[in-house]
Structure 1
Amino acid sequence: MSRAAVVCGLGAWVPPRVVPNDVLAEQLDTSDEWIRTRTGIERRHVIEPGDATSDLAVEAGRRALASAAARGGAEAEGIDLVVLATSTPDHPCPATAPVVAERLGLGGVAAFDVGAVCTGFVYALAVAASMLTAGTAQRALVIGADTFSTILDPGDRTTRAIFGDGAGAVVLRTGDADEPGALLGFDLGSDGAGSDMITVRAGGSRQRSTGEPAPEGDQYFSMAGRAVFTEAVLNMSKSAQNLIDRIGWTGDASVDRVVAHQANVRILRAVGDQLGLADEQIVVNLDKVGNTVAGSIPLALADAVAAGDVRPGHRVLLTGFGGGLTWGSAALRWPDLALVPDPTPTLRKEQS
């Protein structure tokens, strides 16, 4: 039996404030019908003023740790690695992961951020799994969290309709490749030639080094929607198929569920079509939360597990596409996990 990283805990969190399509329609030149037709989204959650990505990451992390503990798995004090996937850190410097680790009572462990936008969770999962199988760590908390509401142009109906805030997390432990929950493989890729398709142009060293003020609007997120649609379908489908072929999930052992990045319902359906899968095999939760970027895949996974749509023994494929351009997929047989929706006590919020 070969050494593997095994999923043994799962948790997710969205902020309580809900923004339905009708609220956006009152503020922008849009309508509930326009948003639903083009994206499949009905509502999204956004943080309150003063909140930050770390607050969501901590809540999702607590739930994942409680989930692991409920099955007799990794307790908080057993975690020796925290990897946070985010494109909206609390500050440009330092990384947000050490703050999250400290607030979870994990101060002193290795903790760092991974930036791959909407593919971030898959990349973070791959990094953590590699460290576990190499023996660098024994138990890891992997979190995807983003607060894109903080970088959207208030007047852009397209981006404001798509994105929401949220976080999801898993706990990994070392184990054997034949165990339920073992991560069976990854497929990762990138194409920097498309970096301008999904970007925030201002705020980094490229713009700051000019010594000139950023052009108006460059401080906000921007996306080339049509081009991104095409690239997302192409690269998620190709990455997923590459991994399926590599691990031999074909014929009677084909994929049971695909949990893809929740960007747009038409993208999800198109990926399913490319893989020859039925609509019911594609997990969809973006109608309730929108595109939560790095939080998207673990949030969708948690919702599907809670609803009984992803069950123990299911062959589950995770796949994402995001800025960079980046894409990636991961595969596992789903284990028997206990979700803990509201562990107590609530951690105090610390802002700096």
Structure 2
Amino acid sequence: MRFSKVRIAALGHEVPPATLTSLDIEARLQPVYERLKLHPGRLELMTGIRARRYWPEPVTPSLVAARAGRQALERGGVPVEALGCVVHASVCRDFLEPATANVVHDALGLPRGCQVLDVSNACLGVLNGMLLVANQIELGQIEAGLVVAGENGKPLVDATIASLLADPTVTRKSIKSHFASLTIGSGAAAVLLCHPDLAPEAPSLEAVVVRAATEHHRLCQGGAAAEGHAPMDAGVGAGTSLSMSTDAEALLHAGVALAHETWAELSLESSFTPGAPPDRVVTHQVGKAHHLGLFAALELDPSTAYTTFEDLGNMGSVSWPLTLAQAVEAGFVQRGHRVAVLGIGSGLSCMMAEVRW
């Protein structure tokens, strides 16, 4: 899918103030580590993640998503009355019904004619939301749209630690499926998209491609887990808590294979070729092994990447847009750069985009 009438007017983001290091987590897991004869430092060694952030005060996804959205609106200079769609696209949400986007719409004072909806697709939600908004702009249906996300990973980390401490049957093998849950961070991000008439000098969305390998939908599953049930077996209700189970090694191999397939498709839709690779690359942030495996498989120069997983962990749907926002603020992404955005989410689904900064 190619675009000629879509600009990224602004990005917004929020990094929570409190830090939770991998060593902090392992200190809380000391009884489990001692019983299994595991050494502190293992979590960072396996993932490359030193720390992740969280909000010390109670927050809702809509609250932090709206703050990022307000920042994007202030930076972009797009009139609020021009917005025709707002999408809340994170894994976390305030409730199942109504759409969390309603809370964001109200908080930002958006027009009554602005479409309101949630998009849920694991860590890929923001790119899915952008594609929905971009298509409406390209078709002339709306002038501008806002995609927001707010991820609060602390409850999952806390629930995972509590579950491991309470489980006397956990082994060195079974604990591996929980390590991914301990890498989850928190953050908020927003992407403001518009027609060129509203922001003629803003970066342009050039192309988007999608691929799905849904045969891998069981490799990473999270949600509400009742006692004695896996996450996929329990609905949301009384007696349930957050849980996520991940086959990290299988997910890594399947994800890199799907990314390779998607990259080949993007090469047909974008300006990227082996002789003219992207100037900058921003990806979903999972960890060290995924990052190295991805760049090796796609034969991309690691020096073109900006990463945040080391100190922010895996922030779900917020990971790549927040990373892009920080890359721009740091001057790593500059005007004229051809930027490859590489997104992937459990399921598996993959989306990639070219943005001309």
| TM-score for both structures, normalised by structure 1 | 0.84
Q: Is the 8 A contact 1:144 1:167 kept in 2?
A: yes
The corresponding residue for 2:28 is: 27
1:49: how far off?
5.1
Distance 1:43-1:142 versus aligned 2 partners, 3 A rule:
same
Say which of 275, 281, 288 aligns to 2:298.
275
Deviation string 1:221-245 (CA, Å, 9 cap, x unpaired) is 2211111111221222321332123
Relative distance call for 1:76 and 1:18 in structure 2 (3 A) is farther
CA–CA separation in structure 1 for the residues paired with 2:79 and 2:155:
33
Note the C-alpha offset of 1:290. 0.5
Number of the residue aligned with 2:211: 189
Deviation of 1:78 (Å): 2.7
* Percentage of identical aligned residues: 27
C-alpha deviation, 1:44, in angstroms: 0.7
- Displacement of 1:251: 5.1
1:236 aligns with 2:259: yes
Task: Pick one of 94, 98, 103 that aligns with 2:98.
Answer: 94
Per-residue deviation at 1:115? 0.7
| RMSD of Structure 2 on Structure 1 (CA) | 2.6
Name the CA distance, whole Å, in 2 between partners of 1:18 and 1:33: 17
Provide closer, same or farther for how the CA distance between residues 105 and 201 of structure 1 changes in structure 2, counting only shifts above 3 A.
Answer: closer
Instruction: Write the mapping of 1:110-259 to structure 2, written as runs, cut at 5 A.
Output: 110-152=115-157, 153-155=159-161, 158-175=179-196, 181-200=203-222, 202=224, 207-208=234-235, 219-250=242-273, 253-259=276-282
Secondary structure at the aligned position of 2:318 is classed as helix
8 A Cα contact 1:262 1:285, kept in partner: yes
SS of match in other structure, 1:196: coil
Contact (CA 8 Å) 1:268, 1:282: kept in 2 or not?
Answer: no
C-alpha distance in structure 2 between counterparts of 1:32 and 1:237, whole Å = 34
Aligned-partner Cα distance in 1 for 2:252–2:46: 12
- Structure 1 stretch displaced more, 27-36 or 17-26: 27-36
Give the secondary structure class of the aligned counterpart of 1:258.
strand
Cα distance in 2 for partners of 1:166, 1:329 equals 22
Deviation of 1:160 (Å):
4.3
Call closer, same or farther: CA 1:18–1:193 in 2, change over 3 Å. Answer: same
The residue number in structure 2 matching 1:302 is 325
Partner AA of 1:135 in structure 2: G
Offset of residue 80 of structure 1? 2.1
Q: Which stretch of structure 1 is more off in the superposition, 264-273 or 24-33? A: 24-33
Per mean C-alpha deviation after superposition, the further-off stretch among 233-242 and 295-304 is 233-242
Q: 3-state DSSP class of the match of 1:118?
A: coil
8 Å CA contact retained: 1:233, 1:270: yes
With 184-193 and 29-38 compared, the bigger mean Cα shift is at 29-38
CA deviation string 1:253-275 (max 9, x = no partner): 32111111001122112211222
- 2:109 maps to 105
Q: Deviations along 1:96-135, whole A, 9 cap, x unmatched?
A: 1111121012152212111111111111111111111122
Which residue does the alignment assign to 1:63?
71
Instruction: Give the C-alpha shift of residue 296 in structure 1.
Output: 0.5
Q: Please, which moves more after superposition, 107-116 or 199-208? A: 199-208
SS at match of 2:253: helix
**Offset of 1:170 from its aligned partner?**
1.4
Give the count of matched residue pairs: 325
* Aligned mates of 1:66, 1:323 — CA distance in 2: 33
**Separation of aligned partners in 2, 1:179 and 1:256:** 19
Deviations 1:78-103 (A, max 9, x none): 32211121111110111111111210
State the AA in 2 paired with 1:133. Answer: E
The SS at the match of 1:324 is coil
Q: Which amino acid aligns with 1:12?
A: H
Tell me the residue number matched to 1:338: none
Q: Aligned match of 2:85 in 81, 95, 113?
A: 81
Query: How far did 1:301 drift?
Result: 0.2
| Greater gyration radius | 2
TM-score when normalising by structure 2: 0.83
Query: Aligned residue for 1:349?
Result: none
**What is the match of residue 307 of structure 2?**
284
Q: Does the 8 A contact of 1:122 with 1:319 survive in 2? A: no
Equivalent in the alignment of 1:5 = 6
Letter in 1 for 2:270: I
